[in-house]
Amino acid sequence: MGTFFRGVFERAGHEVRVSGRTTPLTNVQLAKESDIVIVSVPIRSTVPVIDEIAPVLREDQLICDLTSLKVNPVQAMCRSRAQVIGLHPMFGPSASSLKNQTVIVTPARARDVTLSSLLHILKSEGAVLTITTPEAHDRMMATVQGLNHFLILTMAETLRRQGISPGESLEFMSPIYRMQLGLVGRILGQDPDLYGDILQLNPYVPETLAACEESVRTLREIVETGDPEKFRARFRENADHFGEFREQAAKETDALIECMVRQ
């Protein structure tokens, strides 16, 4: 993600310098010499890196992070004297551009002109911005990322326990199953530490998973009763909760299915 955003800021006219584990330029040297400092490291390393550079930051500087969690990194950044804006890009570094990509922004301590300048850079590349607080961000990420990743990993765990290989199941696939299995394969092909940190370090994930566990128990009980009316009633209750989004979801997934079957 650091490499991705290097391009964003270079196209905005900034000179971008990088420090890391293998660069001669140290984190502290870079922090002293930069107007904007962006921390883009693994989640567990984010706060230690911020703590390393915070003592040398000045009030006229801006520090940001690109982490999937916001409360602890923002608190750490606020221990410096710099202006602070947390960022969370809701996409991976393989994205071709910022166009139509969501970036969550959590301003904590920044002058209006600083915030406006940063938002302008992101908007000029087509980003869709959501401005919120670190606490609201982490609560929502417990569902958007935590619950989503947990369910995907649960599907992988279930297939393994049943001894069903992906290739074997694809011989019986529907387009929807193919998309779901594709998400499982996509996540399992990436860094386990990223998903472990998202699930294990977000303090709001346990309560979300507790609700998930209760939902599984309730739905299993309904299925095992064999009572179709109980199933219909719970199905309708959830359908009402989704409201008008159901129509949008049908159109979007129809388009995805059409793309898949044309390949």
**Residues 52 and 95 occupy one common structural domain:** yes
Q: What is the pLDDT of residue 165?
A: 95
- The pLDDT of 175-197, averaged and rounded, is 95
Q: Is residue 262 very low, low, confident or very high in pLDDT (cuts 50, 70, 90)?
A: confident
The answer, yes or no, to whether residue 149 has pLDDT greater than 80, is yes
127 and 9 within one domain: yes
Q: Do 90 and 143 reside in the same domain of the chain?
A: no
* Residue 54 shares a structural domain with residue 105: yes
Position 75 confidence tier, pLDDT thresholds 50, 70, 90? very high
In a domain, 117, yes or no: yes
Q: Is residue 235 part of a domain?
A: no
- Pairing label, strands 102-109, 83-89: antiparallel
Instruction: Classify residue 79: in a domain, yes or no.
Output: yes
Q: Is residue 48 part of a domain?
A: yes
Percent of the chain with pLDDT over 90: 95
Is the pLDDT score of 236 beyond 90? yes
pLDDT at 261: 81
Query: What per-residue confidence (pLDDT) applies to 194?
Result: 93
Nearest to 106 by CA among 57, 143, 140, 81: 140
CB 16 within 8 A of CB 3: no
Instruction: For 26-61, write each residue's pLDDT tens digit.
Output: 999 999 999 999 999 999 999 999 999 999 999 999
Q: Which domain does 95 fall in, by range?
A: 2-132
How many domains does the structure of the chain reveal?
Answer: 2
Q: Terminal CA-to-CA distance of the chain, rounded, Å? A: 30
pLDDT band at 260 (very low <50, low <70, confident <90, very high): confident
pLDDT at 263 over 80: no
Which of these three, 76, 103, 132, is where a domain ends?
A: 132
Based on the fold, state whether residues 122 and 9 are members of the same structural domain. yes
Residue 245 counted as domain residue: no
Asked if residue 147 and residue 124 are part of one domain, the reply reads no
Angle of helix 112-124 versus helix 2-11 axis, rounded to 10: 100
- Residue 28, domain member (yes or no): yes
Shared-domain flag, residues 150 and 113: no
Segment 100-114, tens digit of pLDDT: 999 999 999 999 999
pTM metric for this prediction? 0.92
CB 45 within 8 A of CB 51: no
Pair 142, 71: CB distance under 8 Å: no
Task: Give tens-digit pLDDT for 7-27.
Answer: 999 999 999 999 999 999 999
Condensed to tens digits (0 to 9), the pLDDT of residues 83-101 reads: 999 999 999 989 999 999 9
CATH number assigned to the domain comprising residue 27: 3.40.50.720
| Average pLDDT score over residue span 225-249 | 97
pLDDT mean across residues, the chain:
96
